[in-house]
Structure formats: structure tokens, C-alpha cells
Amino acid sequence: MKRSAFLQLAALLCLATTTYAADAWKPEPGFISLYNGKDLTGWGYRDKELKPAETFDGKVNASDERYTAKGEALTVNPFAEGKGPKLRQLYTTKEFPKNFILKLEFRAAVNADSGIFLRKPQLQCRDYLVAGPYKELKKYKAQDWNVIEVVVKDNVAHCTCNGEVLEAALKLPPTGPIGLEADRGQMEYRRIQIKELP
């Protein structure tokens, strides 16, 4: 086999393996995925009162390109002048009034700043060791995938990153969507899954 043909075959195998790995992930038992790994179906922008304003079902990019579906990761893109407001929030079209467990993985670029909206209140999700506010985390992995877990019971959220407590008792309103903030730098979110509790 010629070297060029071998390299092409190797590249195809690598791509197939990567695609399979992304497609192979499934939500844990009892959980549903909030991101389908293909497009922004189930997500959209809301107005100040959190009423649906614009949905992105079947679209790979939000209307201002701040959010993009890139395979396994829902990516928050850096702000580009002239493409809408600097601060943006992308919300699920569904609301979650019941107790729930939310799990997701995130990867932050250096000094990236984002957040996770829980009904409406925000849990800061950033390059923690540089951007804070949780600079003392021991298990945070810079520029790598980290796990956020949020357990909501009776409108109070217990939030952890890689098992370390971020917020022990974040008060939430009775219902609302899940959201992701676009502020500074690139953030990636994947394996976004939720389980509603009885």
C-alpha cells in the first residue's frame, strides 16, 4: 500500500472512531439528554421575563452564532463585534418544575467565563482557577473536561464540580428552564442530562 493511501485510510479510521465515540454516549438510566449531539433542537433565546423569543430546532448555529452544535459539544463561541450582544443566554425550551438531578461536563478555555442557569439563578461555570470564584478547587482540571452535578430538592440546589461543593444551598424559583451563558472566551458543554425526581 502506498504511503498516501495508507495515510488516507488512517485518517478515515481516526474520524470514524471519533464519530463513533461521540455517538456512543447515552444518558444514564432515568436521565434524558438535553443536547442531541447534532443541532440546537430544544434550545432557544428567551426575553427578559424568560418567555420563549426564538428557538433553534434543527439549526446548528444560534442566530448570532454565539452557540454552535459541534458534534458531542454544545459550544459557546467567543464574542464577535457586530453579531449581537456580548452577554447571551441560551435556554431549554422546556421548563423543570419538579425536583431534578442535572449532570453535564464542561471544558473552559483559559480565563473563559460562562454560567449555568438553574430555572433563573446562575451557577458560575468558568475557568475556575483563573477566573474564580471557586479558586481553591483541588479537583478542577484546567482546559479539560469537568463534571458539574446539580441536585435540586424543594427549590434548593446543591452544586458540585468533580465532587467538590460549589454551592451547598442555592435558592431557586419554583420552575424555569436550564440555560447556558455566553460571556468571555470559549466554553464547551457535553453530556447534558437531567433526571426529574418524584
Between the two ends of the chain, the Cα-to-Cα distance in Å is 60
**Measured distance CA(32)–CA(37) in Å, rounded:** 13
Instruction: Note whether residue 72 is domain-resident.
Output: yes
pLDDT per residue as tens digits for the range 147-176: 999 999 999 999 999 999 999 999 999 999
Instruction: Note whether residue 144 is domain-resident.
Output: yes
Are 178 and 172 within 8 A, CB to CB?
no
Instruction: Note whether residue 1 is domain-resident.
Output: no
Instruction: Note whether residue 128 is domain-resident.
Output: yes
Query: What CATH number corresponds to the domain at position 191?
Result: 2.60.120.560
Residue 104 lies in domain: 28-196
Q: Is the pLDDT of residue 17 over 50?
A: no
For the chain, the domain total comes to 1
Instruction: Note whether residue 108 is domain-resident.
Output: yes
Which range among 12-21, 81-90, 110-119 shows the weakest confidence by mean pLDDT? Answer: 12-21
Instruction: Note whether residue 61 is domain-resident.
Output: yes
pLDDT per residue as tens digits for the range 108-131: 999 999 999 999 999 999 999 999
Instruction: Note whether residue 143 is domain-resident.
Output: yes
Instruction: Note whether residue 127 is domain-resident.
Output: yes
How does residue 10 score in pLDDT terms, banded at 50, 70 and 90?
A: low
